[in-house]
């Protein structure tokens, strides 16, 4: 072996060692990134677990109870002069509900979704009945309110 061949082999070995060291550094960096990513994923999972620790039923029940209180205070603070226009808006909203309820009642109860179809039909019928009561009751109350403003005959 001559010195030139040995020098070339040493140079190749040095280049290979440098490349191996570079690959090792990249592998260490990738491992750190993967470790950081898994750590970040654990933190996100813990945060999600903390935000969803409230039972959805309790959360929805709390919203329902708050809606009852807000509705009560809003309805009882309406002056009599505003009652008739508000009833007209309520009747308009109820008429939209009637249209949706009629669509739900008309659901096909084919064999594919018989349980869901019957549920939609029954809930649609219930919505139809309640919205109809609201509309007709609104008309009766509105007529009575308007009768209060008529002059009495002697």
Residue 138 · residue 91 · CB < 8 Å: yes
Between CA 76 and CA 145, with CA 127 as vertex, the angle to 5 degrees is 35
67 CA to centre of own chain: 17
The predicted pLDDT at position 117 comes to: 75
Number of H helices and E strands in the chain, helices first, is: 4, 0
CA distance 131 to 104: 14
Query: Which among 128, 134, 40, 48 is positioned nearest to 87, based on CA atoms?
Result: 134
Quickly count: other Cβ atoms within 10 Å of residue 103's Cβ: 11
Q: What is the pLDDT of residue 52?
A: 57
Residue 102 burial class via C-beta count within 10 angstroms: exposed 0-12, middle 13-18, buried 19 and up: middle
* Cα–Cα distance list, 12 to 15, 25, 28, 112 (Å): 5, 20, 24, 72
Give dist(CA 113, CA 117) in Å, integer. 6
Would you write out the chain's pLDDT as a tens digit for each of its 154 residues?
A: 566 776 677 677 777 666 766 666 665 565 555 555 555 555 555 555 555 567 778 888 888 888 888 878 877 777 777 766 777 777 788 888 888 888 888 877 665 556 677 788 888 899 899 988 888 888 887 788 778 777 777 6
- The confidence score (pLDDT) of residue 129 equals 92
Q: Which residues contact 18 (CB under 8 A, 6 or more apart)?
A: none
Question: Token digits for 77?
Answer: 């603070």
Tokens at 70, concatenated:
């807000």
**What SS3 state is found at 93?**
helix
């Amino acid at each position: 072996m001559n010195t030139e061949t040995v020098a070339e082999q040493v140079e190749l070995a040095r280049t290979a060692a440098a490349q191996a060291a570079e690959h090792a550094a990249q592998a260490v960096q990738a491992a750190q990134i993967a470790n950081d990513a898994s750590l970040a994923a654990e933190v996100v999972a813990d945060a999600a677990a903390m935000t969803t620790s409230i039972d959805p039923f309790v959360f929805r029940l709390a919203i329902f109870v708050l809606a009852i209180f807000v509705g009560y205070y809003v309805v009882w603070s309406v002056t009599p002069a505003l009652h008739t226009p508000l009833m007209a808006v309520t009747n308009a909203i109820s008429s939209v509900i009637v249209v949706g309820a009629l669509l739900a009642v008309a659901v096909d109860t084919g064999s594919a979704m018989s349980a869901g179809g019957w549920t939609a039909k029954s809930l649609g019928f219930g919505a139809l009945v309640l919205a109809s009561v609201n509309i007709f009751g609104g008309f009766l109350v509105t007529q009575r309110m308007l009768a209060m403003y008529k002059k009495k005959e002697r």
